[in-house]
Amino acid sequence: MRKGLMVTLVIVMLGALLAGCGGSNEGSQGSEGKDGKVQLTFWGDWGGEGQKQFETMVDAFNQSQDKIEVKYVLQQDMITKFLTAATSGGSPDVLFWDRWRTSLYAPKNVLRPIDEYMTRDGINAGDFYEESLKELTYNEQLYGLPLTVDARALFYNKKMFAEAGLEAPTNWDELEKAATALTKWNGNKLEVAGFSMADPGLFSMYLQQAGGQMLGEDGKTGFNSEQGKQVLKFWQRLLNDNKVYKVGFEEGLGEGNDAFVTGKVAMLYTGPWMMSTYNKYGKDLEYGIVPPPSGPKGDQGSVMGGFGLVIPQGSKHPEEAWEFIKWWTANKDNAMLWAKTSLNMPGFKPALEDDFFVADPLWKPFTETLEFAKTRPTHPGYSVMEENALIPSLELLQQNKQGIEGTLKKAQEQGDKLLADNAVVK
């Protein structure tokens, strides 16, 4: 009896505790403000400088009209927060969205399709890169608009190229020659790497340049192909025959000691996000940028990434949220304000045709690269496949512990399994 009583007591108290947990999320939900304005909550995970940039845009929007008031809320662990918010209320109205996540989240019905708004307001899909929209699409429904676009291009050290009498490479052969010429060894010690090969994750980019595909039409891996072999042969030539790089060379150098800044790497693939670091630390660094060199058959390739803005299903004011998204992403003046504030490339094409981008020799190569850059395949298991199957296998090849055939075969077998295991649950 006594025990029974205690158990009941414990259960009752527990219930009270749990109920307390559940109800606490309501407060953040936007609603009618005092002055009749609709209050919107905008979540993002950019703090510091990024937060200031977002707030500049939010303020500009709030001043541009008198019906909607947006508030930026910084969520360090945004995705995890969103998981709870989407199921228990307190969902934001606008979400800053890493586009590739769409293929995982859209099937779960937590994002709101915007197709009807697009048609109603006559937004031209042609004003955005087709690839960036593809990444925000699931089952032929569009779930948001691209806020930024980026792609990797080839950065090269102008001084080193001038000293060696070289021109920026335009194809694989020229890249190999330049890298070989610029590499300096001192006995066992690598002093200058001609070309950075630190990131085997860039395989997909090389594969595009060789004319290959990461995923086939059947939703399985497609890199175990002739083109895949060409890429790995190219890597082996660079790493083993010409020794233009040493595995681990750039590990842990940090921003101030960045190998490109300090002249220890002559060329590398990276994106516009690194330019501020190079400008800040590289006082003596003179660099140029060219679109990625083309492969053996002249194919060009780079991987397009970037962010978008989406409306969660839980938003109580989707109309107003759409107004905000449209104002920011589909208007040239506002997209330019965003570009100049944040030094990001806006997703809106007319803005990228502005002189700010086209007349600047550092931005122009990126706008050129975006013309042919492709986004990652929209499969919810794609990133796990790359991270857990493909890259580990490529690392073995880079360290000379596995041949070309074995590398691709192993990556394919494990990759196909991961893709199947992480496919959309029907």
Partner 1 sequence: MASINKLERHQARMGYLFITPTMLLFAVFMVIPVVMALYLSFTNYDVLSTNDWVGLENYRRLIGDTLLWQTFVNVLFYAVVFVPFNILISLLLAMLLNKSKGGVKLFRTFYYLPTLTSAVAAATVWIWMLHPEYGLINGMLSYVGIAGPAWVSQTETAMISIILMTLWQSVGSNMIIYLAGLQGVPDYLYESARLDGASRFACFRYITWPQLRPTTFLVSILAIIGALQLFDQAFVLTQGGPANVTKTPVYLIYQQGFNQLQMGYASAQAFVLAMAILIFSLISMKLTKAEEPIV
Q: How far is the CB of 324 from partner 1 (least distance, A)?
A: 24
Give the relative orientation of helices 48-64 and 318-329 as an angle to the nearest 10 degrees.
Answer: 110
Q: How far is the CB of 266 from partner 1 (least distance, A)?
A: 16
Question: In this complex, which beta carbon is closest to partner 1, that of residue 302 or of residue 407?
Answer: 407
Per DSSP, helices labelled H in 121-165 are 130-135, 158-163
Q: Which tokens sit at 379?
A: 């499969």
Fill in the amino acid letter for 311: I
User: How many Cβ atoms are within 10 Å of 189's Cβ, its own excluded?
Assistant: 8
Question: In this complex, which beta carbon is closest to partner 1, that of residue 10 or of residue 164?
Answer: 10
**Order of strands, edge to edge, in the sheet holding 94-98?**
68-74, 38-44, 94-98, 307-310, 144-146
Report the sign of the C-alpha dihedral through residues 175, 409, 375, 91, in that order.
negative
Please, are residues 216 and 228 in contact by the beta-carbon 8 Å criterion? no
Give the C-alpha separation, 269 to 271, whole Å.
7
Q: How far is the CB of 312 from partner 1 (least distance, A)?
A: 11
Question: In this complex, which beta carbon is closest to partner 1, that of residue 83 or of residue 164?
Answer: 83
Question: In this complex, which beta carbon is closest to partner 1, that of residue 246 or of residue 316?
Answer: 246
Residues forming contacts to partner 1 in the complex (CB under 8 A) are: 2, 6, 9-10, 13-14, 17-18, 79-80, 83, 86-87, 104-105, 107-110, 188-190, 246-249, 251-254, 380-381, 383-384, 388, 391-393, 395-396, 399, 401, 414, 417, 421-422, 425
Residue 198, phi then psi, degrees to nearest 5:
-70, -30
Give the C-alpha separation, 101 to 382, whole Å.
10
Question: In this complex, which beta carbon is closest to partner 1, that of residue 280 or of residue 401?
Answer: 401
Q: How far is the CB of 387 from partner 1 (least distance, A)?
A: 8
C-alpha triplet 253, 250, 209: angle, nearest 5°: 140
Give the C-alpha separation, 132 to 53, whole Å.
22
Question: In this complex, which beta carbon is closest to partner 1, that of residue 281 or of residue 299?
Answer: 281
Please, are residues 137 and 115 in contact by the beta-carbon 8 Å criterion? no
Please, are residues 150 and 270 in contact by the beta-carbon 8 Å criterion? no
Question: In this complex, which beta carbon is closest to partner 1, that of residue 181 or of residue 384?
Answer: 384
Q: How far is the CB of 355 from partner 1 (least distance, A)?
A: 40
Question: In this complex, which beta carbon is closest to partner 1, that of residue 63 or of residue 76?
Answer: 76
Q: How far is the CB of 19 from partner 1 (least distance, A)?
A: 12
Residue 268, phi then psi, degrees to nearest 5:
-160, 160
Please, are residues 131 and 373 in contact by the beta-carbon 8 Å criterion? yes
Strand-pair partners of 374: 303
Question: In this complex, which beta carbon is closest to partner 1, that of residue 343 or of residue 391?
Answer: 391
Q: How far is the CB of 313 from partner 1 (least distance, A)?
A: 10
Q: How far is the CB of 27 from partner 1 (least distance, A)?
A: 22
Please, are residues 373 and 178 in contact by the beta-carbon 8 Å criterion? no
Q: How far is the CB of 411 from partner 1 (least distance, A)?
A: 11
Question: In this complex, which beta carbon is closest to partner 1, that of residue 236 or of residue 414?
Answer: 414
Q: How far is the CB of 315 from partner 1 (least distance, A)?
A: 15
Please, are residues 71 and 40 in contact by the beta-carbon 8 Å criterion? yes
Give the C-alpha separation, 291 to 300, whole Å.
9
Question: In this complex, which beta carbon is closest to partner 1, that of residue 67 or of residue 189?
Answer: 189
**251 to 224, 245, 248: CA distances (angstroms):** 29, 12, 5
**93 to 83, 129, 326, 346, 394: CA distances (angstroms):** 14, 25, 14, 21, 41
Q: How far is the CB of 163 from partner 1 (least distance, A)?
A: 22
